[in-house]
Structure formats: structure tokens, C-alpha cells
Amino acid sequence: MAKLLSCVLGPRLYRVYRERGPARLPRDGDEATEGSPASRESSWDSYYQPRSLEKHSDSILALASVLWSISYYTSPLAFFYLYRKGYLTMSKVVPFSHYAATMLFLLAGVACLRGIGRWTNPQYIQFITILEDSHRIGTPEIKKKLASYNFDFRSWPVDFRWDEVSSRSDSRGISLLQPPPKHRSTANGFLNAVKKLPCQIASYIVAHTFGRRMLYPGSVYLLQKALMPMLLQGQARLVEEWGGKRAKLLACDGNEIDTMFMDRRGTSEPQGAKLVICCEGNAGFYEVGCLSTPLDAGYSVLGWNHPGFAGSTGVPLPQAEANAMDAVVQFAIHRLGFQPDDIILYAWSIGGFTATWAAMTYPEISALVLDASFDDLVPLALKVMPESWRGLVTRTVRQHLNLNNGEQLCRYQGPVLLVRRTKDEIITTTVPEDIMSNRGNDLLLKLLQHRYPKVMGEEGVRMVREWLEASSPMEEVAVCSRYEVEDDWCMSVLRSYRDQHGPDFPWSVGDDMMPEGRRQLALFLARKQLQNFEATHCTPLPHHNFRLPWRL
């Protein structure tokens, strides 16, 4: 009877993995030879085969879940309609509650039938036994057996807790996110607070209803449901072809973070000793996201899903994002055994927020690569919202959704590479063809102005903008040739300054230099910090375009 109850309440089982050693993904030009990943792609048929009773009852429950999600998102309109029609009276609500109770009773019966179907399936009985043992015993052998199953991640046991080691915020007094300073007026009294209260309430409602869903559409349940087959296939590819190891991390706010680690340290490729932590975009998942780029380039890779995405719980607000990233970095250092100077942060799009936060908080991290990222969310939010909402949008972003990538980036001392998409349609504030409206330009300028303030004066900014406006590599070379940029001279000047004053930014190099020298340095530094990629925002970055940032 206890086993039957476990089958009724147990998680959904999707797939049983076969034993396969890690291999690399096929690259351009590879032939699908016998035994290669390309030739084995069609043999991914290891889905769990449920019995007929379980299959049909599971379909009914899945449909009910989708309908509930749709009703949740449309509930404000439904309540408004029912109110206008006069249906929200006691005489009308009581019969409706009876119908709802009957429906819940029927769904409970369907869940019991599903449990009976599972109970008669030896494969599910074996799985549920291993899962119960992992929660009760949790030995490495049991966890290894559990890793051969793909099931509802809510039932996966926690592999790493944020408080297993001394957290960065406790040990160095650095809070995860500092709220923006409040500008107080002279009439800072009760009346002033009352005046601001309606605006604050409106900002809170906007941020926690459609605002955060527009910012992170990947957290919407209906989208995840539609992408589920693709996510399952992507996860199977990482496990079966690359030997990926899934783990659940518990962040300090109680959110559970879904991660996948591909270990390349035992391969012949030297890059395998370096770990690339990938931070996905606002509709990206590690199963099908940007981690394939460093993985195909030969690096060890750790991917993770935003709070509220796929197996991760919670809501993707900035504080939760920072908490999740903190747990991921701690896991990489203290459980996976990578030193901070062997860790590279790679972020695509909105993932730049968590990557710059981690770089700022863990300054020993080796390098930071930001692909198609931006400096500040406000200009991009204003682009898609009505002009009459400007004040509300700005206030909402600053108070609740403040992705201040540029500010956080300037607090990191290590090497940085920015990848700018020349046809980006997402982080431009006008049209994709207007490359100067790409907010990656502003991210580069903020970084250079912070690190080299004497070089990046008014003239230096003008030079860099002229270089950024070049629409082809030949035009970029022409700009540098016009101002006679000598790489060897620039390198010698920068090395001489570093040897005399140390590596910490900001530098005062260029303070006693002629304007021609400062122009050369400005263009040289811009070329070293930014790499152009002729593509749209969502085009995957090829592995041969992934490189580490320039180091002096």
C-alpha cells in the first residue's frame, strides 16, 4: 500500500538514460561516421514507456494543468466580465463552487488511476525505489543510479546548499544587491510619503504582473510547456553525448536551481581545465542555450536555469537572480573543485546581469565574456512601452527590475570581452540597421571611461564612436589607419604604466600625453575589448568565434 501511495504522489518520469561515454558535438564539416555523435543522433529513443492507464490519465492531468494556467493569466478579465454580468453574487457563486469541487474530486480520481498504472510498471517501481532511497540514504552510489533518470525536478534531492560553505556576503560583508539610493527632498515627511505611495503601488503591480513576464518570458508556464519536448531532447543530448551531470542547488532565498555540468578535465584538450559558467538569456535554457558554444570549443561547462525556468523554482527578479548565481559560483568552487582563476563567465543577452554581478562579487574570477548584452535596462524598456508611460516605466525598472550591467561591470578588475551583434534587433533602441543605437556600444564606453578616464575624454569618446560606427572590418581598419594606430607603441605604453603603478583600475595613463597618443590608445583599447559578430540577436555564436578576453 505504501508503494502504491508513492506511485500516486510520485513525480512524472520522462526518460531513462542509457550508458554512454562523453563525446563532442559534431562540428561543421564532420561526417556522420559510425559511432560518432552525428550518427547516433537518431538512436535517442530512451523515453520512458508508460503503461496505457498511466499515459492516458497523465494526458488528462496535463491538459487540466494547461487550462488552469490559462485561466490564471486570464482571471482579471474573467472577473471583470463576471462582475459586469452580475454573476459574482452568492446565488451564482455557490453552484459554481460545487462544480469546482466535483472537478477536483474527478481529477483526484484520475491521479489515483495514474498511480495504479505506475504501480503495475516495473520500470517505474524501480525508479521510485531509487528515488526514495536517495532521499533517505543519499549515498553516491544511489545518486549515480538516480542520475540515469529524467523526471520532474521538484522531486530531485538537493545536491548543494548555499550555507554548506561560508558565503561571500557573510565572509566579506558584501550584500547580494544594494538598493538604489533614495533621493530625499526637503519635505521628507509623512505627507511626502503618502504622495509617493500610489506611484510605488503602481510600480510594484506592474513589475510583479506583466513586467517581469515581459522581461523573462521563459518563466511563463505555457511557453515552458510548449518547449518541453525540445528541453528534454537537449537535456538527453548533454547527458548521453557529453556525460553531463545534473544537480540541484539550494539558494539562500530557498529557490532550487537546476544545473548541468560537463566535465572536460579528463580530455586531451587543454581548455578542459577551465570552467565556463554560462548565463542564459531571458527565454534561454541550458538545455538548448548558449553553453553549446564553449562546450564545442573544448571547455568544461556549467549551465544553470534562471529561477522559475524549467526545473528551477522561484521568480526571476534581480535579487533572486543574484542569489541563484551566488549558489552556482559557490558550487563550482567548493563542490566541483575549480579555483576562481580557472573560471570564465560567459553570458548572452540578459544573462549579462548575473555574469557582471558574479564578476563584481568574485573579483578573482579569470575572465568575463558578454555576448549581445547591454549597459542598462531603462532605454530598452522605454523602447517597447508607450511614451506616456515613461515615468512609470523608469520608476518600475529602477525600484524592482534594475539590471544595471554597466555599473556592475565597472566594479570588476579582470579581463573583459564584449561581443556586439551587428544586426541585433533586440538591444538596439531604434532599428537593427542603426548600429549606433546598440546598447553594447554604451557598455563598452562605460567600461573604457571607468578604466582609462584620461584616455577617454571628449576626444577619446569621439574616436571610439567613429570606430563603432564602422559597418565592416575594412572600415574599422581604415579608421585605425587614418589615426595611425601603432599596436606595439600602445602595448609598450600600457605595460610601462602597469609596471610602475600596478594593475588596479582606474588608470591615469594618458594624463601627460599628446592628443595623438590618447587617440591611438582609445582606438587600440576599443579594438581589444569589443569583437563584432555579423548576426542577429538570437543567432548562436559559433565555437570558433568564442575566445578569451585580451590580457595585457
Residues with catalytic function: 349, 424, 501
Which amino acid does the sequence have at 205? Answer: I
Long-range contacts of 157-160 (CB under 8 A, 24+ apart): 157/248, 158/248, 158/249, 158/250, 158/256, 159/247, 159/248, 159/249, 159/335, 160/247, 160/248, 160/249, 160/250, 160/327, 160/330, 160/331, 160/334, 160/335
C-alpha 142/C-alpha 155 separation (Å) is 15
Query: How many Cα atoms sit within 13 Å of 87 on the Cβ side?
Result: 10
- Residues in CB range of 545: below 8 A, 6 or more apart: 293, 419, 531, 533
- Which residues pair with residue 256 across a beta bridge? 250
CA-based end-to-end distance of the chain? 68
Task: Report the DSSP pairing between strands 245-250 and 256-262.
Answer: antiparallel
Alpha helices in 335-384 (DSSP H): 352-361, 377-384
**Alpha carbon distance 429, 431 (integer Å):** 7
Helices (H), 362-431: 377-384, 390-400, 405-409
Distance, CA of 99 to CA of 263 (rounded, Å): 53
* Ramachandran quadrant class, 86 (left: phi over 0; alpha: psi -120 to 50; beta: rest): left
Are the C-beta atoms of residues 382 and 394 closer than 8 Å to each other?
yes
Q: Which residue is it, cell 525540445?
A: 230
Strand partners, 348: 371
Q: What is the distance between the alpha carbons of residues 284 and 358, in angstroms, rounded to a whole number?
A: 19
Query: Which helix (H) or strand (E) segment is 419 a member of?
Result: strand 416-421
